[in-house]
Chains A and B, each alone.
Chain A
Amino acid sequence: MQPLNLQSEKFSATGNLVSHGLLNAMGRPQHSLQKILLRETVQNSWDARSSDEDPVSFSIKGWTATTAQMDFLKKVIFVEKPKKFDDLEKVIEHDDHIDFLVVSDRGTTGLGGPTRADKISNITGPQDFVDFLRNIGQSTDRKYHGGTYGYGKAALYLSSSIRTICVDTCTSHENKPQRRFIVSAMGEKFTIGKGEYSGNYTGRHWWGRISDDEIVEPALNSDAEKIASELGLPGFTSNEFGTNILILCPKFQDLDHDALMKSLAECIPWYFWPKFIPDKNGIVPMKFELQWENELVPIPDPYKMPVVRKFIESYENYQRMEKTLSDNSENGVHKIECKKPKKHLGKLSLIRFPAEARDIHINTETDSDIPFTGQTHHIALMRQPRLILKYHSGPPLPDDMVGYAGVFIVDDEVDRIFARAEPPSHDDWIKTLLEGTERTYVSTYLIRITEVLRQFTDPPPIVSGDEQQQIPMGQFSQFLAPLLPGVGNSSQKMIPRNESSLGVSPTDGRYTGKSRQERALRKSRHKESPKSIKIKILESPEVINLEGKRTAVIKFDFDKIPSCVGYKIEIDSAVILDGNSIEKEPPAGSEVPYLIGWKKADDRDWIKEKEIFIPSDQKGPWHIAVSITRDILTNISVTGEAEFTK
């Protein structure tokens, strides 16, 4: 087979982006290279899906190149070697066997459109080939695409230790299937001082078939098919479109084949679980396959991963409420809105669940690729393509027995704005990438989510009273009381015991009986007041009008005490205020109840003396007349003493 032609890109008079410019465009992503590669390529495949009804197949297959494949590389692909590309030259010249890693998709459109960026094309629609292989930083103009700036393809070059990929695609061109094969590499920029090829070079190289105007174009159709076949790339059935990207000499940190494949297998369910969920027609949107040396690498089923499963449940909850306009916070779906300017930004679905054993599929060798470990208190952020951007860590719940999983999906009206806020690694939304109102939207979404999470994670108020049916538990509470045995409670009744085993003596305060000293004191007091007599009120006081005054007449008697000379009776009065309090000192100028007089019950006339002394030989009952204050409840206390000497 005729060797491929090399074209190394020269700087134009107005300057170009050097190859390292593209490679550095990725910046310093927070994820591992294999995760970025996976996220980027899955996203590209999803963006390139041929229809919303048919599933996309995505696979990554790796193997060590056979001798024939190595020969083919040396004798057909890299016959022409670029200047200042030592890594490539070293591999081609000295390595007997290198690794191949092929990223393939089917059910996609392939890399269609024109093959050159400089020519005005009659072809309308996507220009995927040019965007992918020629232009740098080309933004997509398609709705709901995961990728945007076109820098993410750098991950493919960065995954190759010689920064070289072979692209084999089958696409529709002028309504016919067309197979295209081209090799692209990102080397060092270099200069050739003299000779036919003198000039400054960007470091970008292509191998293909040279066209009449000296531009390297992809090999086409049977030529391309034969090259791809020689390299062992997956073929295409009739009417099947898609792309194979062969990464030469793949290198991902220090991971060996097994670790790489396990890492990829681990990432797929974590970042692409929405693509495992069957649509309304029961079709699973994407099918994933990993293979090394023709051996399938098992991919964990996200439905069987305890933590991921919770995000799926949260997502399913979102789907149930997706079409409703109102806030469904009661059902766990919250509207996230920018208040000024007013804009609906998306919806957040949250579910709580009891903590369980952590996901059993964690790969300890590559656990840095697990989005998070420990208690789940995270929100899966995504746009309309439904690929996980990242897991946002929310405030943990106070109790590690319970976790929560959430899903936030950007509303379709602002999806493009959020897409533009993504860095090339598509792992965040960065407000500083935007300006004006768009920046406000992107800076607001997280504030609103945080507000919802704060409410969600705050301990709920104790629901009582009218809000919740109360359960009578007084008896149950007393039933349990023996478990807190203490001073003076009933625990002793409940559990048979040796009382001394409590270590508390009966006099330490548990018993509430009166002390010996107190009883003695009461006894002595009794001795100190032997002259008191007990006054008995015989009837309810009668209120009469006595000499124009409202007067209460109290009928009383008392038990006689032998050997006394008489009885001294005293009265004291007070008014009773609202609330039953007693007021003895009246306000200035107020009328005060006072003793008007007293008499034997049978007597007609009142004895108007301020002191009452009843000789011992007189018999009662007796009456006391007390003036009472108008419309006020009066309290009269009557005391008496037996006098033994006059």
Chain B
Amino acid sequence: MTSIDIYPFLRPSEDALIVKWTVNGVESIESSEIPHWDPATSIKIQANVSINLQKIKDQCKFSDDDIIRISFKWLSLGTNLLKCSESVDTPLETGLFEDTLERGFSTEIDGGLIFDHVKCSIIISVVNNCKNSIHPFIKKGAILLAKDLEINLDSEESRFPVEQIDFNNNFHLPADAGWFLDWNPDDLTIMALGGIRLYINSHHQNIVKAVTMREKTPVNSAITQMIKFDIARSLFFGALQNEKFLEDPDDYEEGSIGKHVVRLIDITFPNEDINGLSNQVKDSKKRQNLECKLQEKLKLFQELI
């Protein structure tokens, strides 16, 4: 089946509007995906537009009195927020316009306003009711052409639950600590997405600088690796000291903390028995060796870039 949308008025051909999109400085065609996006990340969008005004006037049979509008808008499909960032009106009176209009539109969208997908559009619409146009059907507001860019914000990559809070304003936590892993090692049946969370102290400038991962420096790399190691160590030793976990490590639901930790242990120590690891945790000296092995397995500080 082939389907086509028929507008109740004349429309110009698609080639009357050419848009070149760039998202965060990267050229994009029709769709784009932003790696590592999160709500704290804003998006810079640039649309360089080329419009054949003469073709539009001819094909739509506009009169000299008619005016068209070129608008740049974005719509977040996840939040249903719609914004017209910029628009420009162009009269179609002979002598007042050049055949081709070249123009750049740009906007920076706050990450807190968007979710899922963002659809950016350059839209050419009619400003007036075109009473004098040769073709009487066209009306004010009619959309003649639109070119879209869809930006996918929802990466397929999985994520660890991380949240920033100011430890200064949170009495649970020491004001100058860098991070805190909030979980309950005594109950591993809780779903990981609700039961485990890494809090980053937004007040701690060095930690903040590191976790944004914008600047790839050895210090930032060391900090993020240390946090990762610390989480792994907490998960390992927390679970390996949980008697219920040791009784039946395979008895956890998919998605539960217990299930994740079993996998983590299997991946990290594929040839070791969980109860054997637990015995190492209970023995202080062996525990030190196990921590040391964990450092190696997680490649702690092996690459500091």
Contacts and interface: CB of A to CB of B under 8 A. Distances in A.
B2 A501 contact: no
Given A460-B169, A639-B1, A497 B231 contact: no
Interface string B115-156: 000000000000000000001010100000000000000010
B97 interface: no
Contacts of A480: 159-160, 162, 198, 227-228, 231
A471 B211 contact: yes
A541 B160 contact: no
B169 A463 contact: yes
B96 interface: no
A471 B228 contact: no
A506 interface: no
Contact of A638 (B3, B35, B172): B3
A250 to B, nearest CB: 44
A632 B7 CA distance: 7
A488 B208 CA distance: 29
A638 B1 CA distance: 6
A630 to B, nearest CB: 6
A399 B227 CA distance: 22
Contacts of B259: 486
A198 to B, nearest CB: 71
Interface stretch (B44-52, B262-270, B279-287): B262-270
B249 to A, nearest CB: 10
B171 A397 contact: yes
A199 interface: no
Contact of B4 (A471, A484, A636): A636
Interface stretch (B9-17, B62-70, B98-106, B239-247): B9-17
A491 B267 contact: yes
A526 B291 CA distance: 58
Given A470-B40, A472-B38, A637-B3, A628 B8 contact: yes
Interface string A476-505: 111111011111111110010110011110
B2 A352 contact: no
Interface string B11-50: 1011000000000000000000001111111000000000
B260 interface: yes
Nearest to B165: A462
A485 B264 contact: yes
Given A475-B213, A485-B260, A554 B6 contact: yes
Contacts of B76: none
A210 interface: no
A534 B111 contact: no
Given A465-B112, A471-B200, A543-B7, A477 B159 contact: yes
A536 B2 contact: yes
B170 A633 contact: no
B196 to A, nearest CB: 7
A440 interface: no
B218 interface: no
Interface in B224-254: 224, 227-228, 231-232, 235, 250, 254
Interface string B198-223: 10101000001001111000000000
Contact of A481 (B2, B137, B157): B157
B293 interface: no
B267 A485 contact: yes
Given A472-B212, A486-B259, A638-B1, A477 B38 contact: yes
Contact of A497 (B170, B212, B235, B270): B270
A309 interface: no
A513 interface: no
Given A473-B40, A502-B263, A483 B232 contact: yes
A628 B254 CA distance: 54
Contact of A490 (B13, B158, B175, B270): B158
Contacts of B111: 470, 472
A543 B10 contact: yes
A470 B268 CA distance: 33
A105 B232 CA distance: 62
Contacts of A354: 174-175
B152 to A, nearest CB: 13
A552 B4 CA distance: 11
Interface in A446-463: 457, 459-460, 462-463
Interface string A540-565: 11110000001010101000000000
Interface residues of B, number: 74
A474 B9 contact: no
A638 B9 CA distance: 20
Which of A354, A487, A543 is packed against the most chain B CB atoms within 10 Å? A543
Nearest to A403: B171
A481 B173 contact: no
A475 B224 CA distance: 11
Interface in A208-249: none
A477 B266 contact: no
B187 interface: no
A69 interface: no
B10 A479 contact: no
Contacts of B8: 543, 550, 628-634
B86 interface: no
B163 interface: yes
Which of B8, B11, B40, B254 is packed against the most chain A CB atoms within 10 Å? B8
A554 B263 contact: no
B112 to A, nearest CB: 6
Contact of A462 (B137, B163, B171): B163
Contacts of B135: 543
A457 B171 CA distance: 8
A537 B202 contact: no
A220 to B, nearest CB: 61
Contact of B159 (A352, A471, A474): A474
B164 interface: yes
A188 to B, nearest CB: 56
A581 interface: no
A498 B266 CA distance: 9
A281 interface: no
B194 interface: no
A613 to B, nearest CB: 18
A483 B212 contact: no
A637 B5 CA distance: 9
B83 interface: no
A638 B2 contact: yes
Interface of B: 1-11, 13-14, 35-41, 111-112, 135, 137, 139, 155, 157-166, 169-175, 192, 196, 198, 200, 202, 208, 211-214, 224, 227-228, 231-232, 235, 250, 254-255, 259-260, 262-264, 266-268, 270-271, 297-298
26 contacts: A459-B170, A459-B172, A463-B166, A463-B169, A471-B40, A472-B212, A474-B159, A476-B162, A476-B211, A478-B36, A478-B157, A478-B160, A479-B213, A479-B224, A480-B231, A483-B232, A485-B263, A485-B264, A485-B267, A488-B158, A490-B157, A495-B297, A540-B14, A576-B5, A629-B8, A639-B1
Interface of A: 352, 354, 397-399, 401-402, 404, 457, 459-460, 462-465, 468-481, 483-492, 495, 497-498, 501-504, 534-537, 540-543, 550, 552, 554, 556, 576, 626, 628-639
> Shortest 8 CB-CB distances between A and B: which pairs?
A474-B38, A501-B270, A489-B158, A470-B40, A480-B160, A475-B36, A637-B3, A399-B172
Given A457-B171, A474-B41, 14 more contacts: A402-B172, A463-B169, A468-B164, A470-B39, A478-B36, A479-B224, A483-B231, A495-B267, A497-B270, A540-B14, A626-B6, A628-B8, A633-B6, A636-B4
